[in-house]
Amino acid sequence: MGRMGTIVAAVLALLCAVAAALLTSGYLQRQARAARQGGAMVPVVVSAADLSFGKSLQRGDLRIALYPQASVPKGAVAVVDSLVGQTTKVFLTQNEPVLVSKLSSIGGGLSLLIAPDMRAVSVKVDKVSGVSGFVLPGDRVDVIAVAKPTYAAGDARSRIVLQNVEVLAAGTDVEQRGTEPLTVQAVTLLVDQVGAETLALAENEGKIHLALRNPNDTHVTGEAKGLSKSELLAVRTPEEATPRVAKPAPPARAAVAESRPAAPRADTLTIVRGTDASKEATAIRTQPKEGSASDAGL
């Protein structure tokens, strides 16, 4: 029994040795074939994990991977230390070659994504007004401002102040409001100078909400009319609710006859002097009636 056990063990050891030799031979043949097809294997610096844009690279963010010499991408780097301290201009996925075109030696991070004549402005929105945290870099949104007029009578009014705005960055933070913590989302938007002023005023005077767009929807409508609370609830204002009663027309003023003295009546008087008779016109004032205004003056 002991001899049979020894023989079995020897046979198993021999089989394992043959299998290991075959595996090693196959591996060496594959390496030789790859070397013949693509040349020698060379080191290439790749990302050790997913990296966001604006990331200042450290040693732990990078590692070395072997690439066939014929397959090395243009701009690849072979030494990790040559990339430490540089800033990523794009997102990098794990094991992606870190190319020179994807890095910036001047730093800046987010500023590298800002086109000329554009500005990056960050606004704070809560979880609800920020579309429940689903706003991500690269999305496009409309900005709705809700505020109450300062110098005009009326209730709060909402209005779309910016349309089709690109989101550069988004992140969450926790702020203390009173005795309860509040999760706040900071969203960085790419706007022009007028848009930057609009966002600053809207955030200062009221509250900002974001409306997430479909990425294929780039249509921009005309100037938004906005909506007030009375219009939303179909409630008439006090001025509209009070019926208007027509005021009666003032009575016509009776014409007052002016009292004017009667004009003298011209009569003809015949005068006889001897045998000659002549006529002369003389003015004879008519005697007023008794009780008239003339009598009162006498």
List phi, psi (to 5°) of 114. Answer: -90, 120
140 touches 197 (CB < 8 A): no
Say yes or no to pLDDT of 189 above 70: yes
58-73 average pLDDT score: 90
What pLDDT is recorded for position 69? 84
H-run or E-run covering 90 = none
Q: What's the mean per-residue pLDDT of the chain?
A: 76
What pLDDT is recorded for position 77? 92
- Domains, the chain, ordered by start: 41-110 (3.90.1210.10), 114-241 (no CATH)
Q: Which two tokens stand for residue 26?
A: 């196959």
What single-letter amino acid sits at 281? A
Say yes or no to pLDDT of 128 above 70: no
**pLDDT grade for 97, boundaries at 50, 70 and 90:** very high
H-run or E-run covering 49 = none
Sequence-distant (≥ 6) Cβ neighbours of residue 243 within 8 angstroms: none
- Overall size of the chain counted in residues: 298
Chain segment 235-290, per-residue pLDDT in tens: 665 555 555 655 666 666 655 555 565 555 555 555 656 555 555 555 555 555 55
Top pLDDT among 176 and 138 is at 138
**pTM score of the predicted model:** 0.48
Three-state SS string over 209-238 comes to EEEECCCCCCCCCCCCCCEEHHHHCCCCCH
Residue with tokens 């004549």: 117
Angle at 127 between CA 205 and CA 220, to 5 degrees: 65
**pLDDT grade for 132, boundaries at 50, 70 and 90:** low
- Distance in angstroms (rounded) separating the CA atoms of residues 232 and 226: 10
Q: What share of the chain is helix, strand, coil (3-state, %, to 5)?
A: 30, 35, 40
107-128 average pLDDT score: 78
Distances (CA, A) of 266 to 205, 210, 260, 270, 271: 89, 99, 18, 13, 16
Residue with tokens 């809700």: 146
102 touches 53 (CB < 8 A): no
